[in-house]
């Protein structure tokens, strides 16, 4: 079975402890550091205005903005250095080293902005390249794909932030109020205005082609711990209004077991180009992911994207110690989490090198990331270049 979720057996982490928010926060409670959900407004959105960010009441669709594809040119990559809260006793040093290795690798190809909890500035300076810009903000964890800003463009050189609501992956890992505010802090830092969005969603819950198509999972977006009672039609309207996606392709589930993200799509699939999707598969019928991956393949095979294209599906073997699908496309390179085991890494890396022939494919250790339930993609978020071009 895939062990992207091997953290279930890592230390004393269990689904039960996550459900009650206990036993995985280094002893910290939700009322420490002044982070209760009282910071939220009655509509359950954080008090973004306290950061000084300018909020918009219109929608990106009304204003001509959309979320571009990851392979479009970047101005920078946003990351967040992992604080101790959810990692103390569960591989904190190893996690920080993998975060740093990822950041240092990306910084050779494009600028990296690293959010850092003030308590961790010294260790971050020791591990990170001097090329990396360090930004001090209070943090709960380091998964910037999920808590960071999703930055939109309009083809006229302008950028704005889609501010989806973050609730700690269904309120599993409290406190999370600092992470819920991160997108607003960074929008202010980048001098970008932000659309506050009541839909609870993490960046890893969607993949997009930048041409009007989004792929997601029913398991995550329809989960009652995020958006109770919401319908597919309502979710699709949010995607249209706030991401510029006119076509939603629904997969059933993400990989299992997954007590944290509830089936993030970026663990099982990734866009490689318009009309081209990479998909994890396994040949082991005894693996619960066998049925999940087959169902995903059937759904993708029967789908057409927003441009009316049938999708080309490139399958990639599901690993045991690292989640190779969780790669990140940066300027001129693809950074891939690896297991440091040729028997597990060689086949996925070969597929990615063939798929991304115009980019350098670089492996970085992703074992601790996988034990924590994630990948390189989960700890990175792109800042698109201010290009003037129509999609």
For residue 40, the 8-state DSSP code is B
H helical segments located in the chain: 15-20, 60-63, 92-106, 121-127, 144-147, 168-171, 177-189, 218-221, 232-243, 288-301, 342-355, 367-371
Q: Between vectors from CA 311 to CA 310 and to CA 312, what angle results, nearest 5°?
A: 125
Q: Would you put residue 373 in left (φ > 0), alpha (ψ -120 to 50) or beta?
A: left
Catalytic residue among 220, 293, 333, 378: 378
Query: Can the peptide bond before residue 257 be classed as cis, meaning omega within 30 degrees of 0?
Result: yes
User: CA 179, CA 167: separation in Å to the nearest integer?
Assistant: 9
Asked if residue 81 lies in contact with residue 104, where contact means CB atoms within 8 angstroms, the answer is no
Q: In angstroms, what CA-CA distances link 262 with 15, 63, 256, 265, 340?
A: 11, 32, 9, 9, 27
Asked if residue 193 lies in contact with residue 161, where contact means CB atoms within 8 angstroms, the answer is yes
- Identify the CA nearest to 352 among candidates 294, 282, 278: 278
User: CA 382, CA 71: separation in Å to the nearest integer?
Assistant: 10
Q: Tell me, yes or no, if 220 is annotated catalytic.
A: no
Do the strands 74-80 and 381-384 form a parallel or antiparallel pair, or are they unpaired? Answer: antiparallel
Q: What is the dihedral of CA 108, 356, 319, 224, to 10 degrees?
A: 90
Residue 293 structure tokens = 């991956």
Q: Between vectors from CA 39 to CA 36 and to CA 42, what angle results, nearest 5°?
A: 115
- The residues carrying an active-site annotation are 378
């Amino acid at each position: 079975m895939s062990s992207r979720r091997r953290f279930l057996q890592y230390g004393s982490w269990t689904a039960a402890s996550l459900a009650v928010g206990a036993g995985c926060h280094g002893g910290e409670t939700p009322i420490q550091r002044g982070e209760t959900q009282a910071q939220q407004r009655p509509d359950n959105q954080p008090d973004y205005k306290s950061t000084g960010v300018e909020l918009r009441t219109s929608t990106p669709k009304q204003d001509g903005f959309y979320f571009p594809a990851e392979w479009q040119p970047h101005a920078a990559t946003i990351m967040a250095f992992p604080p101790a809260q959810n990692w103390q006793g569960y591989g904190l040093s190893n996690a920080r080293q993998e975060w740093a290795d990822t950041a240092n690798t990306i910084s050779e190809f494009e600028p990296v902005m690293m959010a850092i909890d003030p308590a961790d500035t010294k260790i971050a300076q020791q591990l990170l390249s001097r090329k990396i810009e360090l930004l001090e903000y209070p943090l709960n964890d380091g998964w910037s794909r999920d808590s960071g800003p999703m930055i939109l463009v309009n083809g006229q050189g302008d950028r704005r932030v889609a501010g989806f609501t973050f609730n700690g992956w269904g309120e599993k890992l409290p406190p999370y109020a600092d992470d819920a505010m991160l997108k607003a802090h960074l929008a202010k830092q980048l001098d970008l205005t932000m659309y506050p969005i009541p839909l609870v969603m993490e960046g890893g819950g969607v993949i997009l082609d930048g041409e009007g198509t989004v792929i997601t999972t029913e398991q995550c977006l329809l989960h009652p711990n995020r958006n109770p009672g919401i319908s597919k039609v309502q979710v699709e309207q949010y995607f249209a209004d706030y991401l510029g996606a006119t076509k939603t392709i629904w997969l059933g589930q993400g990989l299992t077991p997954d007590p944290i993200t509830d089936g993030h799509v970026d663990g099982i699939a990734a866009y490689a180009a318009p009309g081209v999707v990479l998909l994890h598969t396994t040949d082991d019928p005894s693996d619960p992911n066998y049925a999940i991956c087959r169902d995903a393949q059937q759904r993708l095979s029967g789908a057409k994207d927003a441009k009316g294209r049938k999708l080309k599906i490139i399958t990639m073997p599901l690993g045991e110690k690292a989640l190779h699908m969780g790669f990140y496309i940066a300027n001129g390179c693809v950074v891939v989490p690896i297991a440091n085991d040729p028997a597990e890494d060689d086949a996925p890396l070969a597929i990615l090198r063939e798929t991304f022939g115009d980019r350098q494919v670089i492996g970085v250790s992703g074992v601790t990331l996988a034990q924590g339930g994630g990948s390189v993609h989960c700890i990175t978020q792109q800042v698109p270049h201010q290009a003037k071009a129509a999609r």
